[in-house]
């Protein structure tokens, strides 16, 4: 035999063989930028045996998820499906599929996730151009028009709900501009899907992505993705293969389409969870859901004001899902988040990037957007500020 035993026999090393107790994790009220708490019905749905990813029962589940995602996003795009990864994977999926080396990609950067789009687009060979806005502001239509005129991009990418700043970017009219300049419109809806009004088709969005763990109240690990017929036309015209196997829509469309051709082993139990999350969204209805988020956010904003705290973003452009609050003078922002976690079991987020140390980020998303959570947080904030002030 060519394969003989090696000189030294193989020996088992048990030094990393930890003997652990069953999992025990603290249960927090997650009011940061995400993950947010999941709906208990969603969590329960994962406590169920997986099924084969080509089982007839699973294929039906896939259809339900696709239909409900179309409802959630208000799109008729056939290729609307969840990417088997967290939100950043779905973000990368949009760029990986439509950007070819040399394509001009214009990114409108007004926060951390705009920079991430720039980083990703560059990795796919995009000729990336940017326009920037201070963290806390939204772009005006005229600014976008001027940038399109200057750069003539193949893709305009921008963030609808910037998780790092709490800004809602208005999208009315942007799709018309993109048609006028013959470019695709790519939109990040990570912190808006399921919590903030979105009308993808009426806004003429060509590519969008989101996550599961915010407005949809599902754990993280599976992420909505959609591409319009215009986006597919760009994909079909590619001269080079998609430079990412896992996220390649030319193959995934055969699994999510009628062929049902095996591509990857689906994250079955995460798909159960997403199906339940979307079922609950459809049961509540988008209008009721959006109204609930707006009402509870306004209650939060008023309460913060009563505590003498100031929101970072003008009310007109504030996201109902994610609020940035200015850190008042004399308070160590990290000491406060630590105090909230240790003494009140509540997680909120700190500032990222340009806003590091300047703001806290408070999320009221999905199953967490209820008045009682606003009250809990405001009381805990007041106590923590007093303790540290």
Residues 206-225 that bind its own copies (CB under 8 A): 211, 213, 219-222
Burial zone of 129 (CB within 10 Å; 0-12 exposed, 13-18 middle, 19+ buried): middle
Q: Is 389 in the site for its own copies (CB under 8 A)?
A: no
- H-helix or E-strand spanning residue 106: strand 104-109
The smaller minimum CB distance to its own copies, of residues 44 and 134, is found at 44
The smaller minimum CB distance to its own copies, of residues 172 and 302, is found at 172
Residues of this chain, 300-339, that bind its own copies according to CB under 8 A: none
- H-helix or E-strand spanning residue 248: none
Binding mask 41-60 for its own copies (x = CB under 8 A): x-xxxxxxxxxxx-x-xx--
Peptide bond into 290 cis (omega under 30): no
Q: Is 28 in the site for its own copies (CB under 8 A)?
A: yes
Burial zone of 18 (CB within 10 Å; 0-12 exposed, 13-18 middle, 19+ buried): exposed
C-alpha–C-alpha distance, residues 226 and 235, integer Å: 13
Q: Is 19 in the site for its own copies (CB under 8 A)?
A: yes
C-alpha–C-alpha distance, residues 159 and 184, integer Å: 14
Residues of this chain, 186-205, that bind its own copies according to CB under 8 A: 197, 199, 202
The smaller minimum CB distance to its own copies, of residues 244 and 382, is found at 244
Q: Which long-range contacts (CB under 8 A, 24 or more apart) does 311-317 make?
A: 311/166, 312/136, 312/165, 312/166, 312/355, 312/358, 312/359, 313/136, 313/137, 313/165, 313/166, 313/167, 317/137, 317/138, 317/167, 317/168, 317/169, 317/170
Packed helices 229-236 and 87-98: angle between N→C axes, nearest 10 degrees: 60
Span from 275-283, 291-299, 300-308, 379-387 in contact with its own copies (CB under 8 A): 275-283
Q: Is 376 in the site for its own copies (CB under 8 A)?
A: no
Structure tokens at 302: 């008023």
CB 377 within 8 A of CB 362: yes
Residues of this chain, 131-150, that bind its own copies according to CB under 8 A: 140-142
Backbone torsion region of residue 136, taken as left when φ is above 0, otherwise alpha when ψ lies between -120 and 50, otherwise beta: left
Span from 168-176, 180-188, 292-300, 381-389 in contact with its own copies (CB under 8 A): 168-176
Q: Is 361 annotated as a binding residue?
A: yes
Contact pick of 104, 129, 132, 286 for its own copies (by CB under 8 A): 286
Residues of this chain, 83-112, that bind its own copies according to CB under 8 A: 84-89, 92
> Residue count at the site for its own copies (CB under 8 A)?
105
Q: Is 5 in the site for its own copies (CB under 8 A)?
A: yes
CB 66 within 8 A of CB 81: yes
Least spacing, CB of residue 324 vs its own copies, in Å: 17
Least spacing, CB of residue 182 vs its own copies, in Å: 20
Contact pick of 74, 130, 132, 137 for its own copies (by CB under 8 A): 74
Q: Is 246 in the site for its own copies (CB under 8 A)?
A: yes
Span from 149-157, 227-235, 273-281, 327-335 in contact with its own copies (CB under 8 A): 273-281
The smaller minimum CB distance to its own copies, of residues 70 and 260, is found at 70
C-alpha–C-alpha distance, residues 25 and 329, integer Å: 34
C-alpha–C-alpha distance, residues 33 and 97, integer Å: 27
Contact pick of 110, 115, 116, 154 for its own copies (by CB under 8 A): 116
Least spacing, CB of residue 314 vs its own copies, in Å: 12
Q: Is 294 in the site for its own copies (CB under 8 A)?
A: no
Beta strand 359-363 with 349-350: parallel, antiparallel or unpaired?
Answer: antiparallel
Annotated binding-site ranges for substrate: 361
Annotated binding-site ranges: 361
């Amino acid at each position: 035999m060519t394969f003989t035993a090696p000189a030294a026999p193989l020996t088992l090393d048990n030094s990393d063989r930890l003997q652990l107790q069953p999992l025990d994790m603290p249960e927090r009220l997650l009011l940061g930028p995400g993950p947010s708490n999941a709906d208990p019905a969603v969590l329960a749905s994962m406590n169920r045996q997986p099924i084969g990813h080509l089982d007839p029962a699973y294929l039906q589940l896939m259809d339900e998820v696709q239909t409900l995602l179309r409802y959630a996003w208000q799109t008729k795009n056939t290729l609307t499906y969840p990417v088997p990864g967290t939100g950043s994977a779905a973000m990368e999926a949009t760029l990986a599929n439509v950007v070819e080396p040399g394509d001009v990609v214009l990114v409108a950067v007004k926060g951390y996730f705009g920079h991430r789009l720039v980083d990703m687009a560059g990795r796919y060979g995009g000729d990336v151009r940017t326009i920037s806005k201070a963290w806390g502001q939204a772009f005006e239509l005229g600014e976008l028009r001027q940038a399109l005129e200057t750069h003539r991009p193949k893709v305009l990418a921008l963030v609808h709900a910037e998780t790092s700043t709490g800004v809602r970017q208005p999208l009315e009219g942007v799709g018309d501009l993109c048609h006028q300049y013959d470019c695709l419109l790519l939109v990040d809806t990570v912190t808006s899907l399921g919590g903030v009004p979105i009308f993808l088709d009426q806004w003429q969005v060509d590519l969008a992505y989101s996550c599961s763990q915010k407005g949809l109240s599902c754990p993280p690990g599976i992420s909505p993705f959609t591409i319009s017929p215009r986006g597919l036309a760009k994909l079909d015209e590619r001269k080079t293969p998609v430079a990412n196997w896992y996220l390649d829509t030319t193959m995934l469309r055969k699994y999510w389409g009628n062929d049902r051709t095996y591509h990857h082993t689906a994250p079955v139990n995460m798909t159960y969870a997403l199906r339940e999350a979307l079922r609950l969204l459809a049961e509540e209805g988008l209008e009721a859901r959006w109204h609930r988020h707006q009402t509870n956010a306004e209650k939060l904003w008023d309460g913060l004001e009563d505590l003498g705290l100031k929101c970072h973003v003008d009310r007109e452009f504030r996201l109902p899902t994610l609020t940035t609050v200015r850190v008042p003078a004399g308070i160590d922002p990290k000491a406060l988040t630590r105090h909230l976690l240790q003494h009140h079991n509540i997680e909120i987020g700190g500032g990222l990037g340009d806003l590091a140390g300047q703001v806290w980020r408070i999320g009221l998303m999905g199953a967490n957007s209820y008045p009682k959570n606003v009250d809990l947080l405001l009381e805990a904030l007041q106590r923590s500020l007093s303790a540290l002030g």
